[in-house]
Amino acid sequence: MAQGFVVNGINNVSTTSVERRFQLPSSRVGMISSSYDLSAAILGIFISFMGSGRQKAKWLAWACLTMAVGSFVMALPHFTSGKYEWGQNIALACTKEDVTANCDGDSELQNYLYVLILGQLLHGLGGTTLYTVGVSLIDDSVPASSSPMYIGIMYAFATLGPAMGYIIGGQLLDIYVDFDTVPLSDVRINPDDPRWVGAWWIGFVIASILFVLAAVPISLFGAELPTARHVRETRVSEMHGDDGSMAVPLASEGRKLRDLKYLPAQILQLLKTPPFLFITLAGATEGMITSGFATFMPKFIQNQFGVSAGWAAMLTGFMAVPGAAGGQFFGGYLCKCLKLKVKGCIRVAIICSSCALLVSSVLWIRCSHDNVAGVSREYSNSTDSTLPQLTHPCNMDCRCHTELYEPVCDSHGVQYFSPCHAGCSVVSKDAESYSSCSCVMPESGSNVSMVTVGKCQDNCDMLYVFLPMVFIAIFLLFVPSPPAVAATLRCIHDSHRTLGLGLKWFIVRLLGTVPGPIMFGAIIDNTCIIWREKCGKHASCWIYSNDELSLNFFIFVAAFKIVSILLFVLAHQLYKPPNEKSVKFVVSESETIQSESMTSGVTIVTESDT
């Protein structure tokens, strides 16, 4: 089942390349990511209600096939959008000629946004089945004391999958996007060039094949695992306020459409359970943070530390593998070792969330890029005291534009947006340097003013301080997940577990993971200094303000972590453990829906909450 999550990492790695390839701002890229959770939120309750019978494995097999189709749709734009134009036919040196953009072609490229959204909608349909029906299948098949650990293992693989996607996708981004149709000898840019677009689409093709292969063995599972009956007969109720009056039914073969009439009443009963409601709302705030970072963490690292998109994606994967997966497993293992009940699980979530809040200060670690002329500093020969601007008297007659970004560096360590903005009119034969640059101070002892292609060397080593700190932050961020899910399953009636997970993920996605990437994308766009201008409109962003990016991310994360902690505290205080003697009813399958009228098969058990 872990293969089913790899596509999330591949999708998140591809954001920068998709942004460049289809000329989309970060907020639009956030919409693509949010589409996954939008379809999962809309259909999650229906799937969890209909999939709460004994044929859960069949639902998981269909989920894999649905995600296979979604991955195929995500890869389609590469084969239908033509070759990527990285500016090979546009002069970058100072010229008197006016450059006219092809607005019609750009509009067609941006329309592929809706194809990518469709692919993510299909991913969400399959993903919500894995997270609801899949978790419920595990909980049905293992003892209550071991359930958090097994859920933690599943969630660890659910994190390991995207982490593998980051690493594999990061490697694929070092391959040119059109390597299958364009001779690499004709490509005169490298992965460090801001115009580079990697092979973002290969990962989706591979994922589509893996989904089909995973669906085959899952479809061969029986109605339920062999241990499910014994677990069902020996389970002790930990339901909120349980006085033994509610029955625990055997699972039926499946729900019928006519059973949907019971859905509103069961949803209302779940929402009236305070610990369930507040744990779910806390999950929504946590989901807003995790979904935003999962989508834009590579972009954050790339801009704050000046590394390539592929290397930033791989670094994100290297941190996510031991951090998130280890945190998920540790959270479940801690609950098993300490044999924590509902309140104990919530206390773990409160403590770890509080520690994660303190460690979120890691977002202030960054490298400063202070030597970009016209962006963070004035041109060398400027006498103005106004704010820096790309257009300057030294390049006023050059007809410069921001359609392409090719940074160049002079001998004084000053970086320029492009050779045109440096006022350079002569290009070398190998196109590796430019001379006769009106905005560049001449080299000492000569009248030669020239620049070389590429960014200026940055000796900042803060990345190596950032990585271990953000690893700790990711670990603490994911430790509460298995305890919170276990507490959610234990505080509601056994017959409502699958529906409870569906309702939980509906709220988490609707209030958290759907708006999360969009809000993070808007935050990133708000810090943009230099936009790629196309036909009078903003396309993608070239350069961001590092200081504003760190400030906005920190405020966003800290605010929602505080809200999350408060919601966990409310869930802890309002939870009422069951009476020391609770009655557990085991009934026939025909009586699954109408549990309030069940009267057969009584088992008396005793246990107190610790």
Tokens 């107190």 locate to 608
Q: Among 371, 384, 352, 468, which residue's Cα sits nearest to residue 411?
A: 371
Q: Tell whether 435 and 467 lie within a shared domain.
A: no
Q: What is the CATH number of the domain that holds 133?
A: 1.20.1250.20
Pull the structure tokens for residue 203.
Answer: 């990962």
Q: Tell whether 329 and 199 lie within a shared domain.
A: yes
Q: Cα–Cα distance between 176 and 253 in angstroms, integer?
A: 50
Sign of the C-alpha dihedral, residues 358, 547, 288, 128? Answer: negative
pLDDT of 485 over the 80 cut:
yes
Examine residue 596 and state whether it is found in any structural domain, yes or no. Answer: no
Examine residue 583 and state whether it is found in any structural domain, yes or no. Answer: no
Examine residue 581 and state whether it is found in any structural domain, yes or no. Answer: no
Higher pLDDT, 55 or 206: 206
Q: Diameter of the chain by CA atoms?
A: 100
DSSP for 189-227, written as a single string: --TTSTT--B-TTHHHHHHHHHHHHHHHHHHT--SS-TT
Give whole-number Cα distances, 363 to 12, 176, 477, 558, in Å.
Answer: 19, 31, 14, 10
Higher pLDDT, 392 or 104: 392
Segment 170-176 shows an average pLDDT of: 81
pLDDT band (50, 70, 90) for residue 347: very high
Strand partners, 538: 533
Q: Which pLDDT score is estimated for 370? A: 63
Q: Which pLDDT score is estimated for 381? A: 63
Higher pLDDT, 150 or 235: 150
Higher pLDDT, 16 or 345: 345
Q: Give 144-171 pLDDT, tens digit per residue.
A: 666 767 777 777 777 677 767 777 777 7
Q: Cα–Cα distance between 193 and 195 in angstroms, integer?
A: 5
Domain boundary among 406, 424, 457: 457
Q: Which of 82-86, 210-214, 403-407, 538-542 has the highest mean pLDDT?
A: 210-214
Q: Tell whether 296 and 402 lie within a shared domain.
A: no
**Given the DSSP bridges, would you call strands 528-534 and 433-437 parallel, antiparallel or unpaired?**
unpaired
Q: Which pLDDT score is estimated for 571? A: 92
Q: Which pLDDT score is estimated for 597? A: 35
Give whole-number Cα distances, 562 to 131, 350, 554, 555, 597, in Å.
Answer: 26, 10, 12, 11, 43
Q: Cα–Cα distance between 505 and 128 in angstroms, integer?
A: 8
Q: Tell whether 141 and 205 lie within a shared domain.
A: yes
Segment 411-429 shows an average pLDDT of: 86
Q: Which of 206-215, 235-244, 437-446, 513-522 has the highest mean pLDDT?
A: 206-215
Range of the domain at 426: 370-457
Tokens 């300057």 locate to 392
Q: Which pLDDT score is estimated for 90? A: 63
pLDDT over 70 for what percent of the chain? 77
User: Range with the lowest mean pLDDT among 18-22, 94-98, 482-486?
Assistant: 94-98
Angle, in degrees to the nearest 10, between helices 3-13 and 26-50: 160
Examine residue 584 and state whether it is found in any structural domain, yes or no. Answer: no
**How many domains does the chain contain in total?**
2
Segment 462-484 shows an average pLDDT of: 89
Q: Which pLDDT score is estimated for 235? A: 55
Pull the structure tokens for residue 401.
Answer: 């534009």
Q: Tell whether 554 and 444 lie within a shared domain.
A: no
Average pLDDT, the chain: 76
pLDDT of 405 over the 70 cut:
yes
CA–chain centroid gap for 421, Å, is 36
Tell me the three-class secondary structure of 82-123, residue by residue. Answer: CCCCCCCCCCCCCCCCCCCCCHHHHHHHHCCHHHHHHHHHHH
Domain boundary among 457, 485, 516: 457
pLDDT of 6 over the 60 cut:
no
Q: Tell whether 452 and 340 lie within a shared domain.
A: no
Q: Give 505-554 pLDDT, tens digit per residue.
A: 788 888 888 888 888 888 888 888 888 876 667 777 888 888 888 888 89
Q: Name the burial class of residue 533, with classes exposed (0-12), middle (13-18) and buried (19+) by CB atoms within 10 angstroms of its CB.
A: middle
Q: Give 253-298 pLDDT, tens digit per residue.
A: 455 556 667 678 888 888 888 889 999 999 999 988 888 887 788 8
Sign of the C-alpha dihedral, residues 512, 364, 461, 29? Answer: positive
Examine residue 597 and state whether it is found in any structural domain, yes or no. Answer: no
Q: Which pLDDT score is estimated for 394? A: 84
Q: Which of 63-77, 80-94, 373-387, 580-594 has the highest mean pLDDT?
A: 63-77
Q: Cα–Cα distance between 608 and 610 in angstroms, integer?
A: 6
pLDDT band (50, 70, 90) for residue 89: low
pLDDT of 67 over the 70 cut:
yes
pLDDT of 8 over the 60 cut:
no
Q: Cα–Cα distance between 408 and 244 in angstroms, integer?
A: 74
Q: Tell whether 484 and 514 lie within a shared domain.
A: yes
Q: Which pLDDT score is estimated for 481? A: 86
Q: Tell whether 339 and 452 lie within a shared domain.
A: no
Q: Cα–Cα distance between 604 and 581 in angstroms, integer?
A: 8
The SS3 of residue 71 is helix
Examine residue 610 and state whether it is found in any structural domain, yes or no. Answer: no
Q: Tell whether 425 and 494 lie within a shared domain.
A: no
Examine residue 542 and state whether it is found in any structural domain, yes or no. Answer: yes
Q: Tell whether 343 and 380 lie within a shared domain.
A: no
pLDDT of 317 over the 80 cut:
no
pLDDT of 198 over the 70 cut:
yes
Give the count of beta carbons closer than 10 Å to the beta carbon of residue 156: 25
Q: Which pLDDT score is estimated for 567? A: 95
Domain boundary among 388, 423, 457: 457
Tokens 């490229």 locate to 109
Q: Tell whether 349 and 441 lie within a shared domain.
A: no
Q: Where are the alpha helices (DSSP H) in 479-582?
A: 481-490, 497-508, 515-526, 546-574
Q: Tell whether 35 and 117 lie within a shared domain.
A: yes
Pull the structure tokens for residue 136.
Answer: 């419920």
Examine residue 246 and state whether it is found in any structural domain, yes or no. Answer: yes
pLDDT of 350 over the 90 cut:
yes
